Amino acid sequence: MARELDVIVIGWGKGGKTLAGTLARAGWRVAIVEQSEKMYGGTCINIACVPTKILIHDAEQHRGNGADADYFNTAVERRDELTAKMRQKNFSMLDDLDSVLVLTGRASFTGAHSIKVEGGDEVVELSAPKIVVNTGAVPAIPPIKGAEISGRIHDSTTLQHAELPKKLVVVGGGYVGLEFASMFAQFGSEVSVLDRGERALKQEDEDIAAEVVSVLNDAGVTIITSASVTSLSQDAHSATVTYDRNGEEHQLHADAVLLALGRTPNTAPLKLENTAVQLGDKGEIKVDKYLATDAEGIYALGDVIGGAQFTYTSLDDNRILKDKFLGEGKRNLEDRVAVPSTMFVTPPLARVGLNEDQARAQGLDIKVATKKVADIAAMPRPKIVGDPRGIIKFVVERKTDQILGAALMHVDSQEVINLVAMAMRAGINASTLRDSIFTHPSSTEALNDVLGSFK
């Protein structure tokens, strides 16, 4: 007989674990299911945001010192130690609550309000009027001959524990691909990136993309555009990537290959066919603006619903469901504006809102301010820490002086972008931000300079 609860949360990601804890403290009987004890706390702290940024930080300290397998292995050990501590802390935060049932195993739906959890030889049946799916996403494996994660061919998870490659080929020029390219180049690998687009970072304005490419080139990364991979192969000594470029076949040989072609919502194991939940074209769970699926009582949040796959948007999804279950039920996805993002190349590229191309395509009357970081006299911090590279760009509506978007590529940009995003959400105009008082020396004070140079 199935154990009855008030809510079941499937998946221990940021939104799910936070919601589970909140509901438990409110007196609900909660079950949280995680498929692996190595994933308590979710993707971010175990295999993505936190561990990769540890490695990126240590790579930045090593920049220019050449390949050193021992140094890399020490960085991996530090990564593992910190993620283990965070994983245990995340587990305790829920397991220590009396009203939370923690289960480790693979969950699948057996009906509209019931699931089974299979872990080892044990099968546990649960039922609840509310079930929240928070199973995240997994690396996408392209339909390319030889594209399987084994041996010398990796995804973003397995490469973190591979031997430091002398030569690395990255298939895919998106955020993950370029972050790993930047990181391994600084660890001393010879890195080539194969990008299908006609130019790198085609979603960015050309001047911003060019700055990123220049920085990556300086680090030793070669970016090959208009490259369509047709096959991969490997033996005990190396891997080979065959690709087509402008009708000509080429090959690259490497010690390791990273497949970085996005992430796919992790829905396959759930047996959603036993419910009325509907999936979108990319396998994502379809939800309304309140995160409700087509099945009464079943909700979804985080990466599994598609769209921007960020830990902090998953946390905000939790706020929507918290309001739905414990509040007035008014908060929804349409409340979410000016959501920033950061690509952790070195220095990082952070952005929010519209870029110049998008604003002009919408017919908006805009003014634009752009400056290279090295040319900003009122921004000494990047020079102090020895990395004055990068560029800052703002797009502002001419008549209202409201900030429409910004791209910041410089030391500390992942912090400064949050201030810009908050200003956008609060309706603070560019002139007010320009004339604000910021600490010195800081990267934030670049706003005093750049926001006074519109054209």
Give the catalytic positions in this structure.
440
Which structure tokens are listed for 446?
Answer: 């670049």
Which structure tokens are listed for 241?
Answer: 């990537």
Q: What is the DSSP letter of 445?
A: T
Spatial separation of the C-alpha atoms in residues 107 and 266, rounded to whole Å: 12
Among 173, 213, 209, 165, which residue's Cα sits nearest to residue 190?
A: 165
Residue 84: what are its φ and ψ, rounded to 5°? Answer: -65, -45
Please list, residue by residue across 150-184, b when 16 or more beta carbons sit within 10 angstroms of its beta carbon and e when fewer do: eebbbbbbbbbebebbebbbbbbbbbbbbbbbbbb
Strands of 227-234's sheet, edge to edge?
A: 227-234, 239-245, 248-254
Q: Concatenated DSSP letters for 212-258? A: HHHHHHHHTEEEE-SEEEEEEEE-SS-EEEEEEETTEEEEEEESEEE
At CB < 8 A and 24+ separation, what contacts does 274-278 make? 274/108, 274/109, 274/110, 274/111, 274/112, 275/109, 275/111, 275/112, 276/112, 277/133
| Residue that has been written with the tokens 């000594």 in this structure | 237
Residue 344 contacts residue 414 (beta carbons within 8 Å): yes
Residue 417 contacts residue 351 (beta carbons within 8 Å): yes
Among 381, 389, 379, 80, which residue's Cα sits nearest to residue 210?
A: 389
